[in-house]
Amino acid sequence: MQETGNHSIRKQRLAILLSGRGSNMVALVQAVQQGVLQNLAEVAVVFSNKPDAPGLETAAAMGCPTASLSSQGRKRTEFDAEVVEVLGQYQPDYVVLAGYMRILSPTFIRAFAGRILNIHPADTHQHQGLHAYEWAFENQLPETKITVHLVDEGLDTGPILAQHPVDLQGADTLGEVERRGLAVEHFLYADTLARLIRGELSTPTPEPLLPFAAGSSPHGEAAGG
């Protein structure tokens, strides 16, 4: 395995950001603890803009450091400047958005330029912003794509790191669309991050990953969660 040759490489520190229950956070932490990210990364902090986010309690139960700062009633740039200070204390190599329900300001993006990842439950060339699973369901798409991309100052416009299709044929409820999509999200995010850390993503749009690649396992849950 390629990972076994990387003992001399320092584990990359992840700051995982969430606003809700954090299903993608759980999948990433599991990948760090016993999966494809085990020898490549460590969770520096799980942060939320909502101090009562269920994902914080889950992260703490999984042994992760946690931090929060309420965004309620705060101006975006001012709040993001404070978040940058908080995250800076944990010295993250990558900021990984896992259901972080805020549009990041240039203040935040420039502080971690080229090191912020997001997962989007659609092809970002076709649908940006919220409600991507609803969009796929309402338009009766036979297939959608999960996209992992770097974050720039646009809305879901950053360079694509990986995409993987989701077969929606026969998915006759929104819940089934989400279930199928989330199963892909949870293996794709960790595998893409592992490939990025190993230096395998030399172009902004590599070939899609194979389904359920070695070292990863699908577990389903919530959109961008």
Q: Among all residues, which ones are annotated catalytic?
A: 120
22: left (phi over 0), alpha (psi -120 to 50) or beta: left
Quote the CA–CA distance of 177 and 196 in Å, as a whole number: 28
Is the Cβ–Cβ distance between 46 and 59 less than 8 Å? yes
Is the Cβ–Cβ distance between 79 and 48 less than 8 Å? no
3-state SS string over 88-150? HCCCCCEEEECCCCCCCCHHHHHHCCCCEEEEECCCCCCCCCCCHHHHHHHCCCCEEEEEEEE
Nearest to 125 by CA among 153, 151, 162, 160: 160
**12-18 and 41-48 strand pairing:** parallel
Is the Cβ–Cβ distance between 117 and 151 less than 8 Å? yes
